[in-house]
Structure 1
Amino acid sequence: MDDWLNLHAARIAASARQDLAALVAVSSPSGDSAAADRVIDLVVDRLPDGAVIERPACSTPHHARDLIARISGTGRARIVLVGHVDTVIAHDEHAPLAADPGDPDRLVGSGSVDMKGGDVLALGVLHALAARPDDIAEATLLLVTDEEWRLGEFAHGPRFAGYDACLCFEAGELDAAGDDGVVVRRKAAGTIRVTAAGRSAHSGTSPDDGRNALLALAATAQAIAACHDPHGPDRVTAVPTVMHCGGAFNVVPAAGELICDVRADRLSAFAAVLAAVPAEVGGATLTAQNLRHWPGMDHRESMAPILADAGARLGSPITAGSRGGASDASHFAAVVPLCVDGLGPLGGLAHAPGEYVLASSLERRARVALAVADAVIAAVDAGRGTPAD
């Protein structure tokens, strides 16, 4: 299938920059339904002929509906291509796509690498799979509108049970040798919220009559940070990130909130972090809960032969990597036998000013994604990696 790979990689590259500019031109911070709909309309305008479109409810209430675009064929393979259209940068800080004057290969724009660049490549791969109706049963593009801030359960896992593979297009990477890398392992993620209930008092005349919520939360932050063990058996990271407490310089604060980001190889590892939160500090009571239960992903074993075959088709190695960041690929890891992420373009500074995609990587990473898709189809046809009956 070298001709198929070369042809469609070139086609993706020919339109990718223009398509990326169109998507990035729309500022779409998570939660803005109208903006998300505008991005999805742009994607719908670029879908292959014959795509069947659905707009199912988003996992998060009050968000725009997600997009499912499905191509059907007479073959065996069922592949879902996953991305998201929501971003992090606020409207007043949004930057449309533009080449960096100091480095024309660097295309700078809000949401370019996380993950509208990946959306563009996923769309291109859908077109390529649509050209192989004899080899696919279904090729489906899923674009969600709430990935960046979702706390609740993911709605779409059961919908794709029975699929052979999930290809997710978060940002790509190179390994230390400069070979293309993908992600087959991700940590589970949690968001721990701790509330403190104390008692206010005048901090000058009667400070000891108060029960200081700020001190209680500070002690809790230290207790959670002490659980940080990135080289331990579960590779736990525990990072206090936000604290709100107090409203006046001369009042003992009576209430407050602490937010901590936790990651680990297993969701069950978060129980020890929650257990580290004291029930009371200095008379202020503390209550903790994990707001987010984002599963981990480990497809090193299942993807090893696929990546070896894909590398042979590509003519260069594809390295299996690991990341701590959360991705919707993790939600498919338990229901789809082959799961790979990090198929998007190369770039950097995600969630920050100056976020960029490398223009030269668009065709390179399209080739990687196409090679992986081709290897999945071959494995399914050979009876490897298919769902159990």
Structure 2
Amino acid sequence: MDEFINGKNMLDLLEKLVNIDSGSHYKEGVDQVGYQLVPLFQELGFHIKRLKQEEVGDHLIVTHPNKEKASILIVAHMDTVFEKGTVATRPFKIEAGRAYGPGVIDMKASLVSVIYALRYLKEVGSKAYQNVQVILNSDEEIGSVTSRELIEEEAKGKSFALIMEPARRDGSLVTERRGSGRFTIEVHGKAAHSGIEPEKGRSAIEELAHKIVKLHELNDHEHGISVNVGIIEGGDAVNTISATAIGHLDVRVSTLEQAEEVEHKIEEVCASSDVTGTEIELTGDMRRPPMLKDKKIEALFNIVKNVGADLGIEIKDTKTGGGSDASFTSAMGIPTIDGLGPIGGNAHSDKEYLEISSLTERTLLLAKVIERLNQKKK
């Protein structure tokens, strides 16, 4: 592997990042990840703009002063799904060619990869690294609620978007993703003792049960529509008619038309009560549009595939039902490739891992892709 992409140094940085708790709702930890990365970008001559956030970590915009209008956008996130205290129970470790730890593949290895890819380009004398703008956001794992507008604003005028989610287990990149949405159904009823005066109660749980059945009837897996009430809350005691009940709904779709149609049907289901005397409050929306493999994405993938071939790496692509920030840039018509991070698996679990050999390999691939795209005209 090239002398400027040093695997040991990369692993040392990865260990530092993994051993920082940075769950989406732990602002202090996510900001600490940013503090580790900022000086590394500054060493390469980049300027950092910090967008302060109150409830989540600050977002960072990384831009080189020599390129007022960079044409390549890289998007990576600093947050993980793991709560504060996770690192104490299972810190970074290396075992049998794999690295383990919270967020090691999703996506702290990708953060390391971005730094070293840009460093490589600078060290070999390529000015391509100056034509890159990097967005490091802090809330991707909870839907990029505060960073979506930032990503879409900075993506305007860009020629290419490279999203640093990890590659699939077999090394495939991602060229298609399903759209996703989150909704909350809050039902208000009337409490009563279930033994003494049950007739005076109006069960919010019963009403929510009716809604769950109707919502699950919207599933059409054959056509890529998934509707699932994954969490329910409600009730105070087993002998009390429930006054409140809450259902949390996850939605996945394959097309923009499906997104509009399913959202409308959800609103219809929740527009009226089945249990007299209960009221329903629906909140939420379709958070991410689907990423569709169009001709622009196909052309960009072929560039990456050719770069991979030059390096002796067979590059394949796939589609996935998970969401990412690639949905935002692709919906804007910007050629977008996702899954450009290193290879690993079991993300969001205590068995999450990185294939260590892929860390340097995919970093060099990223650097060479940036170099190739820099040669392309807008």
**TM-score, structure 2 length as denominator?**
0.88
- Is structure 2 residue 198 aligned with structure 1 residue 207? yes
Match of 1:114 in 2: 106
Letter in 2 for 1:246: G
Distance 1:295 1:320 in 2: 20
Give the aligned partner of residue 92 of structure 1: 85
Of 180, 192, 196, which residue of structure 1 is paired with 2:183? 192
Alignment of 1:63-212 (within 5 A): 63-73=56-66, 78-94=71-87, 95-100=90-95, 104-130=96-122, 134-135=127-128, 138-150=131-143, 152=145, 154-156=148-150, 157-175=152-170, 180-212=171-203
- Cα 1:281–1:92 shift into 2, 3 Å: same
Q: Over residues 132-170 of structure 1, what are the superposed CA-to-partner deviations in whole Å (9 max), with x where a residue is unaligned?
A: 654466312211111112463513111231111111111
- CA contact under 8 A between 1:75 and 1:137: conserved in structure 2? no
Q: Are residues 1:272 and 2:265 paired? A: yes
- Give CA deviations for 1:167-190 in whole Å, capped at 9, x if unaligned: 111111155xxxx31112112211
Deviation at residue 350 of structure 1 after TM alignment: 1.5
Counterpart of 2:319 in structure 1 is: 322
Deviation at 1:293, TM superposition (A): 2.3
Following superposition of structure 1 onto structure 2, how do residues 3-82 of structure 1 map, counting pairs within 5 Å? Answer: 7=2, 11=5, 13-47=7-41, 48-58=43-53, 61-73=54-66, 78-82=71-75
Compared CA separation, residues 85 and 138, structure 1 to 2 (3 A): same
Q: After TM superposition, give the deviation of residue 129 of structure 1 in Å.
A: 4.2
The CA deviation string for residues 270-316 of structure 1, in whole angstroms up to 9 with x for no partner, is 22233233611221232323245222222442122232233223224
Q: Are 1:338 and 2:335 counterparts?
A: yes
Could you tell me how far apart the structure 2 residues matched to 1:186 and 1:275 are? 26
- CA shift digits 1:184-228 (9 cap, x unpaired): 211221111111111111111222321111111112112111111
Q: Structure 1 152/38 Cα, relative in aligned 2: closer, same or farther at 3 Å?
A: closer
Measure the CA separation in 1 of the matches of 2:122 and 2:134. Answer: 11
- Match of 1:141, as an amino acid? V
More displaced stretch, 221-230 vs 153-162: 153-162
**Take 1:321 and 1:370, find their aligned partners in 2: how far apart are those partners?**
22
Whole-angstrom distance in 1 between the partners of 2:106 and 2:347: 6
1:353 maps to 350
User: 1:241 is aligned with what amino acid?
Assistant: G
TM, length-normalised to structure 1: 0.86
Change (3 A) 1:123 1:99: same
Is the deviation greater in 298-307 or in 216-225?
298-307
Per-residue Cα deviation, 1:227-247 (whole angstroms, up to 9, x for no partner): 111221xx1111111111101
Q: Which residue identity lines up with residue 366 of structure 1 in the other structure? A: T
Q: Secondary structure at the match of 2:231?
A: strand
* Contact in 2 for aligned 1:184/1:297 (Cα 8 Å): yes
Q: Structure 2: where are the runs of 5+ without partners?
A: none
Distance between the aligned counterparts of 1:75 and 1:242, measured in 2? Answer: 46
Report the structure, 1 or 2, having the larger helix content: 2
Contact 2:21 2:86 in 1 (8 A): no
Distance in 1 (CA, whole Å) between partners of 2:273 and 2:67 is 63
Counterpart AA for 1:164: S
| Residues 1:62 and 1:228: Cα distance change in structure 2 (over 3 Å) | same
Is the contact between residue 297 and residue 335 of structure 2 (CA under 8 Å) also seen in structure 1? yes
Give distance in 2, aligned partners of 1:327 and 1:211.
40
Q: Compute the displacement of 1:127 (Å).
A: 2.3
Is the 2:169–2:345 Cα contact (8 Å) retained in structure 1?
Answer: no
Match of 1:301 in 2: 295
**Cα gap change, 1:148 to 1:309, in 2 (>3 Å):** closer
The amino acid that maps onto 2:105 is V
Number of the residue aligned with 1:3: none
The question of whether the paired residues in 2 share the 8 Å contact of 1:34 and 1:64 is answered with yes
- 8 Å contact kept, 2:131–2:374: no
Residues 24 and 116, structure 1, Cα contact 8 Å, conserved in 2: yes
Task: State the identity as a percent.
Answer: 24
Q: Check 1:71–1:366 CA distance in 2 against 1; reply closer, same or farther (3 A cut).
A: same
Q: SS where residue 91 of structure 2 aligns?
A: coil
Q: 1:281 to 1:191 in 2, by over 3 A?
A: same
Equivalent position amino acid for 2:318 in 1 = G
Q: Secondary structure at the match of 1:327?
A: coil
Give secondary structure in 1 for the equivalent of 2:5. helix
